[in-house]
Amino acid sequence: MSYSSGRHFLQIPGPTNVPERVLRAISAPTVDHRGGAFGRFASELLESTKEVFGTASPVIIYPSSGTGAWEAALVNTLSPGDSVLMFEVGQFSTLWADMARRLGLNVRFVEGDWRSGPTPADIERILTEDSAHAIKAVGIVHNETATGITARIGEVRKAMDRAGHPALLLVDAISSLGSMEFRHDEWGVDVTIAGSQKGLMLPPGLGFNAISEKAMGANKTARLPRAYWDWQSMLSQNKIGFFPYTPATNLLYGLRESLAMLREEGLENVWVRHNRHAESTRRAVRAWGLEVVSRNPDQQSSTVTAVVMPIGHSADEFRRVVLERFNMSLGSGLGKVADKVFRIGHLGDFNDLMLAGTLCGVEMGLAVAGVPHSRGGAAAAMEHLTAMAQQAQGTPAAVR
């Protein structure tokens, strides 16, 4: 293989770029994970991890990928045969429902077209109809990474309350936490599921469950078998800064650093930055004359933009050209939309110029791969980025 000069552009929607500061933190020597120093470090870390979830409740950290954290949320709160309400919004919501079935749950799966997600009104209607309260949990993906479709979790909670339904609210925030607004306590989420490799700017390998008091109550009577994922054995050890098995020590050092970075930038500023990059990307897509997968403007993701490939053109071939020619990885279409969609990840440790470079790469790639489009997408994005920067600087518009 020949050397590619310059840096690789990793524009998949996770794993994301790991910043130098985090890489350096991870490179510390391993220590005794049952020693006092580690216990003190982990106690502080477990406490400070709550902030990014917007919770005062316990947050559990597993040495796992996000899929493990999905399983943990289900087996700790539910019993065999329990009904769970889930929605088809893309590949990840489909996989989560599949997991729930394999665990012996009765999944009420609301089919979707992968272009839009459920509205709070849809959820309210279904729960109101369930007057016997057979549904024990609503499992919803905050940001469906395969399609770039989001759910408004605060509104979902209100819909559940309007229906007067006692189901638990389980939320997959794997590709939104640390990038998009998220408020576990304020939104009344019962279990928030997250992973390390997206907005938290770490390599893959940590899975998270933030747990409400109500979910903790459900845990006492839940009968699905669990061992590795058991919250109680984790929480009792966490009280003294330890874990029931070997934690991913060095990723935890990285987590301390990435949380410090998010705090230094300010979580709300992080959310605004992601919104700005997403809006700029959508403007680019529109200027190219292409379509964003997510049809409803109020359901469009701030971390990933999925783009529909013109009929008769292969998204995978386009991505191959972009990788070979411009050293940039774009996300593939997953499941039903394989080869029909490509995804631009714009999350994590990312800034305006990195986005401009990314969109230039996409635009040049479209031309090189012979995909029909109009020029000027990158320019449209730059115009928006410039206007936002001018607004932030207080520069009069006339200077433009």
29-47 residues labelled b (16+ CB within 10 A) or e (exposed): eeeebeeeebbebbeebbe
CA dist 292 → 352, 368, 382, 399 (Å):
20, 21, 18, 32
Q: Give the nearer residue to ligand PLP in terms of CB position, either 249 or 301.
A: 301
In the complex, least distance from residue 118 CB atom to ligand PLP, rounded to whole angstroms: 15
CA 135/CA 127 separation, integer angstroms: 8
In the complex, least distance from residue 265 CB atom to ligand PLP, rounded to whole angstroms: 22
Instruction: Return the residue of 9, 41, 87, 92 that touches ligand PLP, per CB under 6 A.
Output: 92
Helices vs. strands in the chain: H and E counts, helices first: 14, 14
Instruction: Return the residue of 11, 55, 94, 145 that touches ligand PLP, per CB under 6 A.
Output: 145
HSE, CB side, 13 Å, CA atoms: give it for residue 144.
Answer: 36
Give the residue carrying structure tokens 């350096």: 24
- Window of 112-120, 169-177, 239-247, 252-260 that interacts with ligand PLP by CB under 6 A: 169-177
In the complex, least distance from residue 209 CB atom to ligand PLP, rounded to whole angstroms: 13
Q: Does 87 bind ligand PLP (CB under 6 A)?
A: no
Q: Give the nearer residue to ligand PLP in terms of CB position, either 95 or 379.
A: 95
Q: Give the nearer residue to ligand PLP in terms of CB position, either 347 or 369.
A: 347
Give the residue carrying structure tokens 């997250």: 194
- Residue numbers 36-75 binding ligand PLP by CB under 6 A: 65-67
CA 346/CA 16 separation, integer angstroms: 9
Size of the site for ligand PLP (CB under 6 A): 12
> Is the separation of the CB atoms in 178 and 270 below 8 Å?
yes
- Window of 19-27, 52-60, 167-175, 332-340 that interacts with ligand PLP by CB under 6 A: 167-175
- Residue numbers 172-231 binding ligand PLP by CB under 6 A: 172, 174-175, 195, 204
CA 49/CA 233 separation, integer angstroms: 19
Residue nearest to ligand PLP (CB): 66
CA 189/CA 153 separation, integer angstroms: 8
Q: Where along the sequence are the contacts to ligand PLP (CB under 6 A)?
A: 14, 65-67, 92, 141, 145, 172, 174-175, 195, 204
